[in-house]
Amino acid sequence: MNKLTFILIFTTIFTMNSQEKLPYYEIPEAPNEFTAGTTASRMVDGLGFRFYWATEGLTEKDLAFKPTDESRTTGETIDHILGLSQVILNATLKVVNGGKQPVMTFAEKRKKTLENLQQASKILKESTDVSDYKLIFGETEIPFWNVINGPISDALWHTGQVVSFRRSSGNPFPKGVSVLRGTKKE
C-alpha cells in the first residue's frame, strides 16, 4: 500500500468516525400514552424534524439568500430559530430568558438548535404537569400556553420560511423526507 492510499483510507475512516449524528434525522418513536407532556413533546419533536431537514445541506449561498431587501437572510432566520429554541428550553428548565448566544458557525447553530429541542422534548415527555413550565422574562412569568402559541409556533413558521428560501435560492428541500411519518427514505 502506498503512502497516498494509506492517507486516503485514514482520512475516510477519521471523517466517518468524527461525523456526529444530530438529533431529529427521524422523529422519535411516539409515546404510548397521550398526556399534556407527551403531546407538547411531540410538537417539539415535529419542529426538530422539520428544522433538521429544512437546514440539511444548506450552502453559503443559501444562508445569504433573502427574498427582499427588507427580509431576513436564511442565516438570520436560523439565528432567530436558535433563539426560539433556547426560549423553549428555558421554559422547561424554569430559567430566565435573556442570555446571549456565543458566536457560532452555521453547523454549531444547527446542532445547538436541535439539541435544545431534543432536551426540551425529553423534559416535556417526562412531565406530569406542563403548567409548571413558564416563559420567564425578568420578574414576568407567562403560562405554558404561550410557549405553544409563541416560540414553538413561531419556530415552525420560520422553519417553513427556511424551506421556502432554500427553494428560492436553488436548493430544494431534500427528496424522500416525509413530515407526516417523520422519516427519510434512502
In a domain, 7, yes or no: no
Helix (H) or strand (E) holding 183: strand 183-184
In a domain, 11, yes or no: no
In a domain, 112, yes or no: yes
Give the predicted TM-score (pTM) of the model. 0.88
Domain span at residue 156?
36-170
Per-residue pLDDT of the chain (186 residues; tens, 9 = 90+): 555 444 444 444 444 444 579 999 999 999 999 999 999 999 999 999 999 999 999 999 999 999 999 999 999 999 999 999 999 999 999 999 998 889 999 999 999 999 999 999 999 999 999 999 999 999 999 999 999 999 999 999 999 999 999 999 999 999 999 999 999 998
In a domain, 12, yes or no: no
Residue type, 84: L
Q: Which residues contact residue 127 at a Cβ distance below 8 angstroms, ignoring those fewer than 6 apart?
A: 35, 36, 37, 40, 41, 92, 133
In a domain, 108, yes or no: yes
In a domain, 73, yes or no: yes
Number of folded domains that form the chain: 1
Of 99, 113, 103, 11, whose CA–CA distance to 58 is shortest?
113
Q: What's the CATH code of the domain at 71?
A: 1.20.120.450
